[in-house]
Each structure stands twice: as C-alpha cells, then as structure tokens.
Chain A
Amino acid sequence: MRIPELTLPAAMASLLGRLPATPPCWALVTTLNQLKKRDILPADMSLLAGHSFEVHVQDAGLRLGFCADEQHFKVASVGTAPDLRLSANLADFARMMLREEDPDTLFFNRKLIIEGDTELGLIVKNLLDSVDWSSTPLQRFMAV
C-alpha cells in the first residue's frame, strides 16, 4: 500500500480545526499507553518524563497535545509552547508511521518540521524507529 500524494483541502482544516481536539488526543494518548504497556513501544520514560509534546497535523488543522510522566502519557492542553512540536501533513505523518518514508528524508525535504528541544526530537524519532511491529498485527500495514 502506497500512500497517495495528497493534501487535505483547506476547508477540512478550518472545519476540523474548530472541533475539540480532546477526542483524537485522548485516542493518541491511550494508544501510546497501550503500546507501552504491551512492551511494543520500548519507551524509556525517564527520558520523556516532564516534557510536553504537540503533534500538529497541518492540513487537518489538528493540534494534539500530550505530556509524559515517569509512567504514562497524558492529554495536555495545547497553546503554551510545547517542549517538542512535530508538524507535517497527514499523508507525510502516515508515510513516516508506516515506514514508507524516512523522517530525515521528510526533514531534508522540509515536509517535517521539528520545533523545540532537538535532542528530545531525536529521542522521539528513534523511539518510533525502534518499535518492532513484526510482533504485532499492524505489521501487515508496514512498508518495511
């Protein structure tokens, strides 16, 4: 499965941007905690604890804010400057998550924007890269 070159229409962003971000954010945080609990996400929480994160899906107008403590990921309000913000269009986030595209490639091409603490960004990037999906049913969606 190749993700098509696609940018969501601007109307979508203005519509989605007006909806409350809490449900998708809650879904993201719950997924992260589940993956961690099942040892699929090999997160060293000591490196993430106390930091705030924002995933900005540009073409969807979606800003998902969360933070981490020593045990869990938690929903956090967006607005204040997060320690790390990752911004990209939905298709590029999907390419990155499904390992169709290398985050460095997206970054060189200016399709992935990293703001804030660079080292924290590297920790998150390397954490996503180190997830071994082969032990999960999600492997069949992965390009690699």
Chain B
Amino acid sequence: MPATRPLPELVCPAGSLPALKAAVDNGADTVYLGLKNDTNARNFAGLNFDDRTAREGIRYAHQHERKVLLAINTYAQGGDISRWHRAIDEGAELGVDAIILADIGLMEYARRRYPALRLHMSVQSSATNYEAINLAQELFDIRRAVLPRVLTLDQVKQVIDHTRVEIEVFGFGSLCVMVEGRCLLSSYATGESPNSHGVCSPAKFVRWEHGSQALGARLNGILIDEYQQGEAAGYPTLCKGRFEVEGDTYYALEEPTSLNVMAMLPQIIDIGVAAIKVEGRQRSPAYVAQVTRTLREALDAAGREPQRFSVKPGWTQALSKLAEGQQQTLGAYNRPWK
C-alpha cells in the first residue's frame, strides 16, 4: 500500500470578482484570473480584472488562505511586447502567488526581473513530455506545468515520474480540439487565434441567425453550425462546427463536449498529480460555484476512501447540466490504444 498522497490542489477559474469569491466560498484551493487585455487567453469583452478588482480578489483569497494565479498565457506579439511585460510587472506588484506563462521569452523576462516570483508553465506552451518540462525548469525555474489534454493517464504518470516540476491536469470544462498552444484554426476564419489575441471565436466576428427552423452560428461569415429546435447549442468555434465533407454533414473535427475526470480521481491522486484545473473563466459565478462545490466534494471523498470511491449521481447531474454539448468524457486520459 503506497503512502497516502496529498490531495491535488483544486484550481478554479475566475473571470470576475464575484466568480473569484464564488470559487473561494465553495472550496477552491487556488483561483486563476487574467487582466483586461490580450495578455490572456480569455480576452473577452467585459471579462477579467482591472487593478481594483484584482487587488480586492487577491485580498479576499489570501484572507481565506487560498492562492491566486495570474494567467499571462498568450504569446507576446512582435512590434510591441510591452503589454506582456507590464502584465508580468503588475502581477509581481499585486502579489499573486504565481504567474502562468506560455511564451518562453516572457518566462525569461519574469525570471530575470523577479527572481522570487513563482512561475507556472501554461497549457498553451504545449509541453507534452518531461524533457520539455525539465528544460523549462532548468532555464527558467518553472515550478509547475499544466499538461495539454492529449495524454493518457499512463503518459501523465510517465511525465510525473521523470520530473521534479509539479504537474497540473485539466479536470473539468469545455474541451477544445486539444492541440493547445498549436491551434491556428480560428485565425483561418478571423485572423485572430488564442495564441495571438487570446480568443478562439472573437465575439465581433460571431453572428447568431435566428431562422424559422434553426439557429445558425456564423464566424466571420462562415457557417459553423445550425442547431435545430430543441437541439443544444455550443460555442461558435471552428473546431466544434458541423461541416459538409464529401456530401456528408457532421462534426468534422470534434463534437462539443466537456471533460470530466471525476471517475478517475483516485488514480489521479495516486499517480501524484499536484493540481486539478477547472476550465471556464468565461463562465458566470453560478457555474464556478456549482463546479467548484461538486469537485471539492468528489475530491475530498476520493482522498478519504480511494478504494471505495464512486461517483455520486448527484455530482454527475450537477456537472452535466453545465457541460457544453451536455455530454462528458474522460478525454484522452482514458484511451485504450497507444
């Protein structure tokens, strides 16, 4: 019987101050947030934190002995990288517990300017193997890496066994096409991508067309999908669209679905995952509260009695209501083939 592992940190999203408070109040160990500009990958109109709300949020979290991470997870764009440097300066000045970075140029800046600042490697860095993670540790002393959602649980274990860097994995939330940090799909339609502008389907390019039969979703004029009466809608991103391919119309890239690792929590704890992340800074405080509460309960139960752990129907119900596409999957974690 192996020694009991510590429970992974539950890392929850905050797109606004009430969402941050909802995460803290419902049992998040850590919250992550972004600033109101394109230095983060949820650069949506009206979302995120300014100086006042960031200060208040950090005060609230620290008062409750929780941690705050600042996501600066887009790639600094040539011409003017000062915004990204300023965001790092601001994070250091605000006193966040760590900064989540994707761009190695920014890792270098942060390490040089703020030697004591804790750095996490974003999922957008797309580091899927321990060699890449260990190199980032050697060069920039990163303390944690967030793994892209492409590895099986065995592969995650393989990474953990070969690095001293803490490993964070995704636990719940909308799944994207899962080539994080390497996805250029949306720039094909709009010229803007998550890496460059912090958003997959910029709202200014999105049009919802309310026809008599169906709801149409267009991204910069391209028809992404048509939802029939009563059919669940999804986010209007290219990867989740239904397209006509050789006379057949179907989800040519992926189906809208949500990741949910609840069923695997005992194994995730057992292999030594340091943190479990919930997706969804774009979602409201209601979502953050419901997901955080449910995962907190499940994680605590899995920690108490890993052998007897089973997913309660109430948990599944609570989460499936919130899921995009209203279906949930274990994603790549549970892939029988190699």
Contacts and interface: CB of A to CB of B under 8 A. Distances in A.
Given A104-B284, A121-B203, A134 B21 contact: yes
A105 to B, nearest CB: 5
Interface in B280-316: 282-290
Contact of B233 (A103, A110, A127, A143): A110
A27 interface: no
B16 interface: yes
Nearest to B326: A108
B210 A105 contact: no
**A interface, size bucket:** 20 to 34
B170 interface: no
Interface in A94-115: 99-105, 107-110, 113-115
B46 A144 contact: no
B286 A100 contact: yes
A123 interface: yes
A109 B18 contact: no
B46 A126 contact: yes
Nearest to A85: B210
Given A115-B210, A126-B47, A134-B21, A104 B204 contact: no
Residue from B18, B19, B326 having most chain A Cβ neighbours under 10 A? B18
A134 B284 CA distance: 16
A125 interface: yes
Interface in B32-75: 44-47, 53
Contact of A144 (B227, B229, B289, B324): B289
Contacts of A107: 233
A45 interface: no
B46 A108 contact: no
A49 interface: no
Interface residues of B, number: 41
Given A126-B47, A130-B17, A102 B283 contact: yes
A99 B286 contact: yes
A132 interface: yes
Contact of A105 (B19, B21, B287): B287
Nearest to A87: B210
A129 B16 contact: yes
B331 to A, nearest CB: 19
Contacts of A100: 286
B282 A104 contact: yes
A144 B16 contact: no
B81 to A, nearest CB: 26
Interface string A118-144: 110111111101111110000000011
B232 A110 contact: yes
Contacts of B18: 99, 129-134, 144
Given A114-B208, A115-B208, A118-B208, A99 B203 contact: no
Contacts of A118: 203-204, 206-208
A103 B44 CA distance: 15
Interface in B226-245: 227, 229-234
Contact of A103 (B22, B207, B284, B325): B284
A11 interface: no
A102 B286 contact: yes
A112 to B, nearest CB: 10
A121 B282 CA distance: 13
A43 to B, nearest CB: 9
B255 to A, nearest CB: 13
B266 interface: no
Nearest to B49: A130
Contacts of B17: 130, 132
A47 interface: yes
Interface of B: 15-19, 21-22, 25, 44-47, 53, 203-204, 206-208, 210, 215, 227, 229-234, 282-290, 321-322, 324-326
Given A102-B287, A104-B282, A119-B45, 6 more contacts: A104-B287, A105-B322, A108-B234, A108-B326, A133-B18, A143-B286
29 contacts: A44-B46, A47-B46, A102-B286, A102-B287, A103-B284, A104-B283, A105-B322, A108-B325, A108-B326, A109-B326, A110-B215, A110-B232, A114-B208, A118-B206, A118-B207, A119-B204, A122-B44, A122-B45, A123-B46, A126-B45, A127-B46, A129-B285, A130-B17, A132-B18, A133-B18, A134-B21, A144-B18, A144-B22, A144-B286
